[in-house]
Amino acid sequence: MKIGVVTFPGSLDDVDARRAAAVAGAEAVALWHGDADLHGVDAVVLPGGFSYGDYLRAGAISRFAPVMETIIKKAGEGLPVLGICNGFQVLCESHLLPGALIKNHHRKFICKDQALRIENNRTAWTSDYDANHEITIVLKNQDGSFVADEPTLDRLEGEGLVVARYLDDNPNGSYRDIAGISNERGNVVGLMPHPEHCVETLTGPSTDGLGFFTSVLKAVVAS
C-alpha cells in the first residue's frame, strides 16, 4: 500500500513522514504540491513545516496548490488524509475540517514532548489506539492554537469528532484543549503534534506515534 506525502515550499517534516510510513510497512510516495496527480496512493499525509513561510496565514496559500484540488475531491470520496501541524492548518484553510489555527496564546514558538489523550479511535488514522489511550509525542508550533465558534466546538464535542486532547497543560491556548479533530466520515484528521517523529526508539521520546500510520494501513485493507 502507498502513503503519499506532499511537499510544499517550506515543508520541513515531509522526509520524516515518509520514513514513518515506511516504518509502518507502507510504500512512501513523494508528492509535489504543483502536481495534481496523486500517483495511485491509498492515503495522503500533509506534513508539518512553514509552507510558503506562513505568509498571509499558515496554510492559506498551500490550500490553492494543484495537489490540493485533487486531495479535496478524493477526500470527499473517502481517501484517508492526515494533516500534521502545518498540514492541519492546510486542512482547515481548505474547509476539509472546521475551525482555524492561530498564533499560540503566549506568542512564542514551542517545542516539547506533549502528553495527549486519543479520544476518538474510530477514524482511519487512530483505530490502532484504545479509546482514551494516553500517548506522548513531539509538539512544535507557533500557530498551534485551535479556535472555532461555540456552536462548532459543541458539535465537535457532541459528535465525537475531537480526536486528541492535550493533557497536563494546554501548550498553545487551543480551545477546550483540542489537539486534533476529524471530519464526520473519519477519513480526514488534523493533528497539531507530530506522530511522525515518534515511530522509532532511537529518536523518541516514544514510539507512540506509529499507531497513526499502522491504523491507516488497516483502514485501507478494510475498505
| Residues involved in catalysis | 85, 194, 196
Buried-state track 102-140, b at ≥16 Cβ within 10 A, e below 16: bebeeeeeeeeebbbbbbbbebbbbbbbeeebebbbbbb
- 101 CB contacts (<8 Å, ≥6 apart)? 58, 59, 88, 89, 92, 143, 144, 145, 146, 147, 192
Amino acid at 29: V
CA-closest candidate to residue 213, choices 32, 39, 80: 80
CA-closest candidate to residue 192, choices 89, 53, 104: 89
Determine if the peptide bond prior to 98 is cis (ω within 30°): no
**Eight-class DSSP state of 187:** S
Phi, psi of 181 (to 5 degrees): -140, 170
CA distance 7 to 40: 17
Helix 14-24 to helix 210-222 angle (10° resolution) is 60
Q: What is the CA radius of gyration of the chain?
A: 15
